[in-house]
Structure 1
Amino acid sequence: KVQIMGKILAKGTGIGRKSYSGFARKVQFPGKDPFNDGDILIAETTGADYEPIIARAGAIVIVEGGLTSHAAIVALQYKIPAIVGAQEAFAKVSNEQVLTVDALSGIMYEGSISIL
């Protein structure tokens, strides 16, 4: 695997093998915070109330959690690239910032990065 390196914003445990580039959307209140289809969900944690958003997400990055967390299980169910346990993610990201989520390596990059 060859990567075109970009600025690393957060690291955690990757769920899946895909990468995805898109716009970040920080969500604290599901159903109230705006979210567009294909956005990258950035959240502190997830629960059942997040599932309608996760189903529309291009990727998810969650501050808390591990391999058996709600976010990890739902990401696998929807076949969405995810990173869990990414402790810096919520603090380092702005809404509508372009990000790349590399689930295979568990790294979130700033900008749109080609991962081969």
Structure 2
Amino acid sequence: MSGPAEVRRVNKPWGYEIIWAHTDKYVGKILHVNAGEQLSVQYHERKDETVYLLAGEMKYWVQLPGDTELRDQRLVAGQSFRITPLTVHYMEAVTDCDVLEASTPELDDVVRIKDRYGREGTSAP
């Protein structure tokens, strides 16, 4: 149905996210990652996402197909990166970062491999 969308803020140990769209077909978020913080080393079984760095500088660590290690894909404002299902990845903010994320709607599809905030093995915020 057309009309205003619910917008909600979710506080995270690394900053916060604003979920500005959530339908059965897609999700839109803005993630604010504080300088020096990082998200979980993770992958998604179904979720397909693309991020666009609105502001800041980040190290976007990704294990590409065929690789055995994560590689640093340095992103600056104006660059984007797509993550397909089963791709191990995480974000590390060099400076405060604002990230626009567009994805498929599976918000709880997070398999945490490693997490500096003690959330390994969960999909908890």
TM-score norm. by structure 2 comes to: 0.28
- Structure 1 or 2: more helix by fraction: 1
Higher relative contact order (CA 8 A, sep 6+): 1
- Structure 1 or 2: more strand by fraction: 2
Larger radius of gyration: 2
TM-score norm. by structure 1 comes to: 0.29
